[in-house]
Amino acid sequence: MRKKVTKAIFPVAGLGTRFLPATKSVPKEIMTLVDRPLIQYAIDEARAAGIKEFIFVTSRGKGALEDYFDHAPTLEQELRKKGKDELLEVLKDTNMDSGAIAYIRQHKALGLGHAVWCARRLVGNEPFAVILPDDVIAAEKPCLQQMVEAYNETGGNVVATMEVPPEKASSYGVLDVQEDMGHVVKVKGMVEKPPVGKAPSNLAVIGRYILNPSVLRSLNQMKSGAGGEIQLTDAIASEINGEHGVYGYRFRGQRFDCGSKSGFLQATVAFGLARDELRDDLLAYIRDVVHLDRAAE
Ligand code: UTP
């Protein structure tokens, strides 16, 4: 019997420099798409996949993130008094049971691999998920849930992957494919941020992973890789010839790179249009803007 995936690491210790000055005082993960912070989308996805323990790797200045998951008795009391049951319901999603959430500090931003390694004692000897909250994925079946199913079939390390245009590949970890089975690909190599024209495929790794605990042991021995950071990709690549192997999973859904301004804006529009109460107004506005733009040409 395969061990169930019940723990997820959320590495949120990065500096978020692309969103300065906002991220000087607001953690990137608290920035909102419509009215929900990025972290809420990540937590909802993890819950849907059966995750019970949520491990945040944080850093200085991320206090707002910790507060977000606390109960807010005064606010709740006030809403109850005013009969705002719908809002009380909305707040429920933000509450975490005591003991279900843990925070661990990454003292220096030494890279994603290092951030994951910081959580090793909380993970122990179990398979675990890693979710990067700045990759937001709109999907009918939540992406991590799809991946847990793929993990249950393969037993290997599973990384979410999507096709990207060749000129974009150098911004990602890229898969070297041994066997393409459709939604699942068996991986024979992984390269972090390959130089332009040198990518082994157009399959980029994005921010969802299900990993076996042996990855943490590889991270123990890691030296810094591309960009002087300790790369998670390198530790996963060292699993390729190990007991479990590595698989790419082509998820069904649309991924928004909310770590970039353009991706964040696109996600705002997409999630706004998906809301019944906002759709008509927003659509009319977008039509107007596009129309004006055309008129100016
Ligand atoms: P990014 O590469 O997006 O870096 O990290 P960043 O610091 O968040 O943002 P920019 O590039 O400066 O704008 C990808 C994910 O890895 C986490 C980040 O919090 C983010 O979720 N991370 C990165 C860490 O937790 N620790 C690190 O040392 C680096």
37 to 30, 34, 68, 94, 158: CA distances (angstroms):
5, 8, 9, 10, 26
Nearest C-alpha neighbor of 56 from the set 25, 23, 112, 13: 13
Q: What CATH number should be reported for the domain whose range is 7-259?
A: 3.90.550.10
**Residue 224: per-residue pLDDT:** 54
Point out the ligand 1 atom lying closest to the alpha carbon of residue 59: 25
Nearest C-alpha neighbor of 273 from the set 257, 256, 261: 256
Residue 123 CB–ligand 1 contact under 6 Å: no
Q: Using CA atoms, how far apart are residues 159 and 147, in angstroms rounded to an integer?
A: 8
Residue 10 is classified by DSSP as E
Residue 16 CB–ligand 1 contact under 6 Å: yes
Mutate to test the pocket of ligand 1, among 9, 10, 12, 19 (most ligand atoms within 8 A of CB): 12
Residue 113 CB–ligand 1 contact under 6 Å: no
Residue nearest to atom 9 of ligand 1 (CA): 16
For residue 286, the CA-to-ligand 1 centroid distance in Å is 32
Point out the ligand 1 atom lying closest to the alpha carbon of residue 110: 28
- What are 63-122's pLDDT values in tens digits? 888 889 988 899 999 999 999 999 998 898 888 888 899 999 998 888 899 999 999 999
- What are 155-214's pLDDT values in tens digits? 889 999 999 998 899 999 999 999 999 999 999 999 989 998 889 999 999 999 999 999
Residue 15 CB–ligand 1 contact under 6 Å: yes
- What are 242-284's pLDDT values in tens digits? 889 999 999 999 999 999 999 999 999 999 999 999 999 999 9
